[in-house]
Chain A
Amino acid sequence: MSTHLKPETYEQQSRLAAYCRNGEQPALDGITPNRIGHYRRLVFNVVKDALTRSYPLAVNLLEEEEWAILCNDFFEFHPCQDPQVWKMPEELISFVQQERAHLCEKYPHLLELLRFEWKEVEYYMMPDRDWPIASKTNEWQDAWSLNPESEVLSLEYPVHLKNARQISEEDHGSYYCLVFRHEQTGKVHFMNLSPFFAWLIATMLETPVSPKSLLPVIEAQFGISDEPMLREQISKFHQKLVSDRMIR
């Protein structure tokens, strides 16, 4: 703290801020008591609105009261760190993970749903990334010019395929999903992937290599040795990615 600010002034500021977070009547000097509540209301509304806008699927999954209590407790007990309010909702994920064991138990896919929803915000908003230089494109022999604004998600629940309210323990398993921002519209797309294509894309996003050069690894890891069949499958997949602007 600066040397100028007196502890008693700091104390008044701190009490008003604490009141905005916990709603407990503060001991403040010289206030108009029936008006102080507007600060708590206005501040909390900003936070709850930002959270609600970022996580519509989680809002729908939780009971109304559970969501209200979660927003309230998050704001009261978690000191929000990001100066940009639209980035702040990401902080809810670790709060739920660390502080809301009972919610995670009741809704085993809640954390994954929150992460999934945040990916959409993150990809929609994130700074532009440069595309790799596109060279000639023989989808078998050349490395693919993949959209750098993309990522393969590995999931335990099909939050990308099913309404979160319909997901149960029976759905627990291994799922893969490609998330990418469409180059032209800027919209975020999700594409369900088989384990093989998830691996292929993840590998090629890490290092630009041609499918052909991966042949020995594909055979060792996936037991696929039928090269013509593989080439055909990969070619189809390549076409789909081109039409979705995942490949230039």
Chain B
Amino acid sequence: MNKHVGIGFRKDFGTEFIEGSALKPAFVEVAPENWIDVGGFWKKQFRKVAEQYPVYTHGLSLSIGSPDPLDWEFLKKVKSFLSEWDVKVYSEHLSYSKCDNAHLYDLLPIPFREDAVKHIAERIRQVQDFLGRKLVIEIVSYYTPVAAEMSEVEFINAILQEADCELLFDINNIYVNGFNHGYSPTEFIDQLDLSKVKYIHMAGHDQVSEDLIIDTHGQPIIDPVFDLFEYAISKLPHPVPVLLERDFNIPELAELQEEMNRLESICRNTWQHEHALKA
């Protein structure tokens, strides 16, 4: 049984996930944006999922790195969603998806700069105060830096420090970024403030050219990312929940379960002396 490994719940999983037993995660993760203000058929399905599994969340539209003001009306809805479903974790992306009063619905890279650190750290603190919980921010994959004046790892550490938030450690994103920008993922991990890690993401990706990977979440996890995962979790001060993300090209659920089992066994081997994770 999986104690540590959850799955990103997709509508594509259908009733097979809810009624069948092919996929048995330790928890599920959803994007609040996909479920807020939803009734009818999907609300019923969501209720069944939430009755069976602890719910974690990974938001899409907070746009914490945006120059635009925070959207408090939206945050109110997020807050009530988190409380309605007794959500364990609210995570979001360290990127921006809204600018000049227009939503873009995808994750744009933030300039790695000192002023951006201060700006974002202040916003994270405001969100944390409002929600009454820590925000767990994710290292996102990116395809080009924009107007950087510091390194990525300096940027992330500075935000963790100033915002006093937690970190979503996406191992695949670190692998993708290392590949795309020519740095060593293990050295990156060595420099990262791992005391803030609250949660881990694992996923597959698509290599589109000799020197570029696009983070599609549409393939199985590749072996080098499993290896990096093993390396990464051996350095963590304590066990954390691990999520398998699969957003496109969804295979048979049993295949996802196999990937989860492989992650789970790595967790067990690494954390065998630790207490089992409490949901």
Chain A residues at the B interface, C-beta cutoff of 8 Å: 1-2, 4-6, 8-10, 12-14, 16-18, 20-21, 28-32, 35-36, 38-39, 42-43, 46-47, 50, 78-88, 123-129, 149, 181, 185-187
B96 touching A84, Cβ below 8 Å: no
Would you call B43 an interface residue if the criterion is a C-beta within 8 Å of the partner chain's C-beta atoms?
yes
Give the distance to chain B from A3, nearest Cβ to Cβ, in Å.
9
Give the distance to chain B from A188, nearest Cβ to Cβ, in Å.
9
A12 touching B102, Cβ below 8 Å: no
Q: What are 17 A-B interface contacts by the 8 Å CB criterion?
A: A4-B119, A9-B67, A12-B147, A13-B66, A32-B143, A32-B144, A35-B143, A43-B106, A80-B104, A81-B103, A83-B98, A84-B37, A124-B40, A124-B41, A125-B39, A126-B37, A187-B41
Complex contacts, A128 vs chain B, CB 8 Å: 39-40, 43
Give the distance to chain B from A171, nearest Cβ to Cβ, in Å.
31
B104 touching A20, Cβ below 8 Å: yes
Would you call B214 an interface residue if the criterion is a C-beta within 8 Å of the partner chain's C-beta atoms?
yes
Of B50-58, B109-117, B128-136, B194-202, the stretch lying at the interface with chain A is B109-117
B118 touching A4, Cβ below 8 Å: yes
A5 touching B147, Cβ below 8 Å: no
**Other-chain contact of B33, A14, A84, A127 (Cβ < 8 Å):** A84
Complex contacts, A32 vs chain B, CB 8 Å: 143-145
B100 touching A79, Cβ below 8 Å: yes
A188–B9 alpha-carbon span in the complex (Å)? 24
Chain B residues at the A interface, C-beta cutoff of 8 Å: 33-34, 36-44, 60-61, 65-69, 71, 74, 96, 98-106, 108-111, 113, 115-116, 118-119, 122-123, 143-148, 180, 212, 214
Instruction: Given A13-B99, A13-B110, verify A29-B147 contact (CB < 8 Å).
Output: yes
B67 touching A1, Cβ below 8 Å: yes
Q: Give the A-B pair count, Cβ closer than 8 A.
A: 152
Complex contacts, B110 vs chain A, CB 8 Å: 13
Tell me which of A2, A14, A80 has the highest count of chain B C-beta atoms within 10 A of its own C-beta: A2
B38's nearest neighbour on chain A, judged by CB, is: A125
Give the distance to chain B from A190, nearest Cβ to Cβ, in Å.
16
**Other-chain contact of B105, A18, A35, A46, A79 (Cβ < 8 Å):** A46
B115 touching A83, Cβ below 8 Å: no
B34's nearest neighbour on chain A, judged by CB, is: A86
**Other-chain contact of A127, B38, B66, B113, B214 (Cβ < 8 Å):** B38
B108 touching A4, Cβ below 8 Å: no
Tell me which of A12, A14, A181, A185 has the highest count of chain B C-beta atoms within 10 A of its own C-beta: A12
A14 touching B67, Cβ below 8 Å: yes
Complex contacts, A10 vs chain B, CB 8 Å: 67
Complex contacts, B146 vs chain A, CB 8 Å: 12-13, 16, 28-31
**Other-chain contact of B41, A78, A127, A186 (Cβ < 8 Å):** A186
B41 touching A80, Cβ below 8 Å: no
A60–B146 alpha-carbon span in the complex (Å)? 40
Complex contacts, B65 vs chain A, CB 8 Å: 13
B143 touching A5, Cβ below 8 Å: no
A83–B123 alpha-carbon span in the complex (Å)? 17
Give the distance to chain A from B33, nearest Cβ to Cβ, in Å.
5
Complex contacts, B67 vs chain A, CB 8 Å: 1, 5, 9-10, 13-14
B44 touching A186, Cβ below 8 Å: yes
Give the distance to chain A from B107, nearest Cβ to Cβ, in Å.
9
Complex contacts, B118 vs chain A, CB 8 Å: 4-5
B71 touching A83, Cβ below 8 Å: yes
Complex contacts, A126 vs chain B, CB 8 Å: 37-40
A76's nearest neighbour on chain B, judged by CB, is: B102
A10's nearest neighbour on chain B, judged by CB, is: B67
A142–B267 alpha-carbon span in the complex (Å)? 64
Complex contacts, A87 vs chain B, CB 8 Å: 37
A239–B44 alpha-carbon span in the complex (Å)? 28
Instruction: Given A18-B100, A32-B144, A186-B40, verify A83-B74 contact (CB < 8 Å).
Output: yes
A181 touching B115, Cβ below 8 Å: no
Give the distance to chain B from A128, nearest Cβ to Cβ, in Å.
4
Instruction: Given A13-B111, A32-B144, verify A185-B37 contact (CB < 8 Å).
Output: no
